Amino acid sequence: MFLRGSKSVWPKIAGQRRFLHVKTVSTPNENALKFVSSDGELLQERGKPSVEIRNTDEKLIRHSPLAHRIFTQCPGVESLMVGDDFVTVNRDELVHWNQIKNGVIDVLTQYLASGQDALTPEFYSVHEGEVGYDVNVPKFEYTEDEQEISDMIEELIKTRIRPAIMDDGGDIQYRGYDPVTGTVYLKLQGACKSCSSSEVTLKHGIESMLKHYIEEVEEVVQILDPEEQVALKEFEKLEQKLADKSH
């Protein structure tokens, strides 16, 4: 959430007008831009998980005035991710950034100036209910040694991997470690999620680092949203049809 206006953050001096600045930062994903506030924070507390909202997430949008305004005023925005001091916007690839960028900057500037909350107090509970239990990630019970390995993985992601990904307008969530297979389950968000190089980042970047420092790690698997799973299955079907026709 944006910090509410206060004397310590935004001094109210008679006759003084506060000029706010929102800058854009390119990401490895040409369909994603990172909008950074240099004057205030988007979330009330640093370190909270970034939240991703798609333009089809009606329940989440109802609990995010910021998302509602961006989706309403900036046609062509497919999703956004709210971080500590930035918002990453993913566009429809058929829409040019010139049609979106200024509108997003205007919305963010207005929110920073007003001190309004970007998310309602109920947002996180609604978000948790919407995300729900992921059937693709089993719940693990660890021995003391296995718990130590899981903690090491989570700490490495938090201190070495997550900051680099957030610099590129994305985020990453640790979803668990399978001690039997050595599989680490991760969830990519924001710019990294739909980037064409996300698989390279996952396998050659994240997986390589985890395997280097923690010998028990054998593989890293990305968790997909239900919509992404359906799209992937349809793509695999199309590939199979094309392969069958070529024979």
pLDDT of the residue at 216? 95
Residue 203 counted as domain residue: yes
pLDDT of the residue at 79? 92
Q: Region 31-57: what's the mean pLDDT?
A: 78
- Residue 148 shares a structural domain with residue 95: no
User: Alpha carbon of 47 to those of 22, 159, 177: distances in Å?
Assistant: 21, 12, 22
**Angle between the N-to-C axes of helices 101-114 and 65-73, in degrees from 0 to 180, rounded to the nearest 10:** 150
Q: What share of the chain has pLDDT > 90, as a percent?
A: 34
Tens digit of each residue's pLDDT (9 = 90 or more) over 171-180: 888 889 999 9
Indicate if the pLDDT at residue 13 is higher than 70: no
pLDDT of the residue at 47? 65
- Residue 30 shares a structural domain with residue 119: yes
Q: What is the torsion angle, in degrees rounded to the nearest 10, for the CA atoms of residue 228, residue 229, residue 234 and residue 240? A: 120
Residue of 118 and 212 predicted with greater confidence: 212
Task: Provide the residue range defining the domain that includes 214.
Answer: 144-234
Q: Tell me the CATH number at 180.
A: 3.30.300.130
**Is 185 buried (19+), middle (13-18) or exposed (0-12) by CB count in 10 A?**
buried
Tens digit of each residue's pLDDT (9 = 90 or more) over 93-113: 899 999 999 999 999 888 877
Residue 152 counted as domain residue: yes
pLDDT of the residue at 90? 92
Tens digit of each residue's pLDDT (9 = 90 or more) over 148-164: 999 999 999 999 988 88
- Residue 149 shares a structural domain with residue 227: yes
- Residue 109 shares a structural domain with residue 158: no
Residue 173 counted as domain residue: yes
Residue of 121 and 74 predicted with greater confidence: 74
pTM of the predicted model, to two decimals? 0.64
Q: Count how many domains the chain has.
A: 2
Among residues 172, 35, 23, 41, which one has the least CA distance to residue 112? 41
